[in-house]
Amino acid sequence: MPEPVQLSKLSDLPVGASATIREFPKSGSAFVRLREMGMLTGTRVTLVRTAPLGDPLEIKLRGYLLSLRKTEADYVLVEIGA
């Protein structure tokens, strides 16, 4: 049995940290769009920064920058350092 990995919310990722998406919510319309923009299970993302007022977040994936609000990022679970 492989050791269960510790997953954290994308929104809890420290600034500058990279992680791999492990769990992505079922397809509500916002999440279908995020998928279509390349956020899939297994995709590597880096939390580049948060906006000056703490929300939204700016992440880097597949070589481009994307902003999304914490309300969406809360549902994306990532594995740090994988």
Partner 1 sequence: MSLPAHIASASASPGTRLPTYALVGNPNCGKSTLFNALTGMKQKVGNYPGVTVEKKVGTTFSQHGQPITVIDLPGAYSLAARSPDEAVTRDVLLGRRADTQQPDRILCIIDATNLERNLYLVHQILDLGRPVIVVLNMMDLAEKAGLNIRAARLEHELGVPVIPCEAVRGKGLVELRVAMSRHDLPLSRHAWEVPAPISAAVAELQASLTRNDLKSPLIARAEALLLLTDQDSIRVAGSTPLSPQTAEILQGWKTKWEGQGTDWAAVLVNSRYDAIGRIAADVVLRAGDQGPTTSDKIDAVVTHPVWGWVTLGAVMTLLFLSIFTFAEYPMNWIDDHMASLGDWVKGAMPPGDLRDLVTDGAIAGVGGVIIFLPQILILFFFIGLLESTGYMARAAFIMDRLMSKVGLNGKSFIPLLSSYACAIPGIMATRTIEEPKDRLVTILVAPLMSCSARLPVYLLMIAALLPGDRVPTWSKVGLMLLMYMLGTVGAFAFAWLFKRTLLKGAPPLMIMELPPYRLPAVRDVAFHMFERAWIFVRRAGTVILGISIILWFLSAYPKAPDTATPTEQIAQSFAGRAGHLIEPAIRPLGFDWQIGIGLITSFAAREVFVSTMSVVFNAGSDDADTAPLRQALLAAHWPDGRRLFTPLVCLTLMVFYVFAMQCVSTVVVVRRETNSWRWPLFQIGYMTGTAWVVCFLVFQVGRALGY
> Using CB under 8 A as the criterion, which residues of the chain lie in contact with partner 1 when the complex forms?
24, 26-30, 32-38, 40-41, 48-49, 51-56, 58, 62-69, 71-72
**Least distance in Å: CB of 61 to partner 1?**
9
Q: Which is nearer to partner 1, 6 or 63 (CB)?
A: 63
**Least distance in Å: CB of 48 to partner 1?**
8
69 closest CA partner among 22, 9, 3, 1: 9
Q: Which is nearer to partner 1, 17 or 56 (CB)?
A: 56
Q: Which stretches within 1-82 are classed as H helix?
A: 29-36, 70-73
Q: Which is nearer to partner 1, 3 or 41 (CB)?
A: 41
Per the CB < 8 A criterion, the answer to whether 72 and 39 are in contact is no
Q: Which DSSP category does 12 fall into?
A: G
Q: Give the integer Cα–Cα distance in Å for 5 and 57.
A: 24
